[in-house]
Amino acid sequence: MLVGSKVRRVAIVGGSRIPFARAHGAYARVGNQDMLTATFKAMVSRFGLRGQILGEVAAGAVMKHSSQWNLVRECVLGSGLAAETPGVDLQRACGTSLEAALLIANKIALGQIDCGLAGGVDTVSDAPIVYSREYQQLLLESFRGRSLHQRVRPWLRLRPRHFKPVLPGVVEPRTGLSMGESCEQMARAWSISREEQDRLAWESHARAAAAYDEGFYKDLVVGFEGLDADNNIRRDTTVEKLAALRPAFATDGTLTAGNSTPMTDGASAVLLASEDWAKARDLPVQAYLSFGKVAAVDFVGAEGLLMAPAYAVPRMLVDAGIGLQDFDFYEIHEAFAAQVLCTLKAWESPEFCRDRLGLAAPLGSIDRSKLNVKGSSLAVGHPFAATGTRIVATLARLLEQRGSGRGLISVCTAGGMGVTAILERQE
């Protein structure tokens, strides 16, 4: 133990986020710092944290400008928290904010801190645009020049091609494939039909719309830049409408814009604390963050890019001493409908569980009525680094409403990794 003599339980006090918005729309003129600061401000207001020193704030963004090297600390300074509150940036692709929650939770459990915020933010609308390395080297050579001649000479090599920007893209450097192209391969390998994908996507939209109608997101989502709700939810979509869409990543593929997550801007955060800290401030405990696990796969030669959660979850179940069916809610990030379905099919497969997981029997199937019951990424959107704590806040609220129970979180990420967690609440 680094601090203390026993492991403390980690309470989830609650979460908040700004509405998630389709890229190049409502948030086109704001950036990561604006969105994450607004989210932190909402947390400060909701939980009475103005002027308070928290033990740590951990968050991150997948896509950010080089000038945002201290993004989280800057957002803390603009949030209303005491200036003495430290902040740290981290990044694990789409698992960033769930990883941030695990970092804060571990520090609380070990007694290093008593409370902290975890979160994430991402914007495609304000993506960093850079130029070729050749142009960069020309600029740096000029900068290093000692004399006027040395500073001017590199500019004689300037050509029109140097002004062509290098746009960011979600492409794996090792394979050259986009995430959608990689998931197409997974869908083929696991024989996931177009009909299955479209039905899961329709369910996500229908459930998200119903959740808004019943007031589930009332204080989980705080208005920002004229938005009061996620603007990707399609209330009028149907399985038939989704079936009419063209394949997005391969002419003969099954992944479409409808059963894949849209490019999205947004931010989210959750407040974690020790039970004593929460009790002293008369703050509620919605649930407890009890287990977490990270895994990675060899996606270049042995496994599908987004299959790592299929490995992380069973290892976490061993830690917890429970089975896959021992959950009241399953929150599986819908990067693509096909990814969710591949993961579920892998757990049902005797061959996969025996040969890849080393298990004597398959993990089995889950009750689909417990899966993403308030909608998930296909409907509400997926600002890469913000999705993890969006899910934590949603699941904690579900457990609070139920009064007791257990929930599973599974998030796939770029780079062939996965981040998973278990939330619990006792009566």
Our answer to whether residue 353 is catalytic in this structure is no
Among residues 75, 94, 183, 353, which one is catalytic? 94
DSSP letters for 327-376: -SEEEE--SBHHHHHHHHHHHH-HHHHHHTT--SS------GGGBSTT--
- CA–CA separation, 413 vs 422, rounded Å? 18
Can you say whether the dihedral through the CA atoms of 23, 28, 32, 34 is positive or negative? negative
Count other Cβ atoms within 10 Å, centred on residue 202: 23
Among residues 183, 333, 342, 382, which one is catalytic? 382
Query: With left for phi above 0 and alpha for psi between -120 and 50, is residue 260 left, alpha or beta?
Result: beta
- Amino acid identity of residue 29, one-letter, is R
Q: Residue 172 has which token pair?
A: 């794996």
CB 298 within 8 A of CB 416: yes
Q: Residue 388 has which token pair?
A: 């993890």
Our answer to whether residue 183 is catalytic in this structure is no
Q: What is the DSSP letter of 94?
A: B
- Amino acid identity of residue 20, one-letter, is F
**Beta strands 405-413 and 329-332: pairing type?**
parallel
Q: Which has the closest alpha carbon to 36: 289, 264, 219, 224? A: 224
Among residues 75, 115, 353, 412, which one is catalytic? 412
- CA–CA separation, 10 vs 115, rounded Å? 9
Helix, strand, or coil (residue 43):
helix
Our answer to whether residue 75 is catalytic in this structure is no
**Beta strands 405-413 and 417-425: pairing type?**
antiparallel
Q: Please identify every residue annotated as catalytic.
A: 94, 382, 412
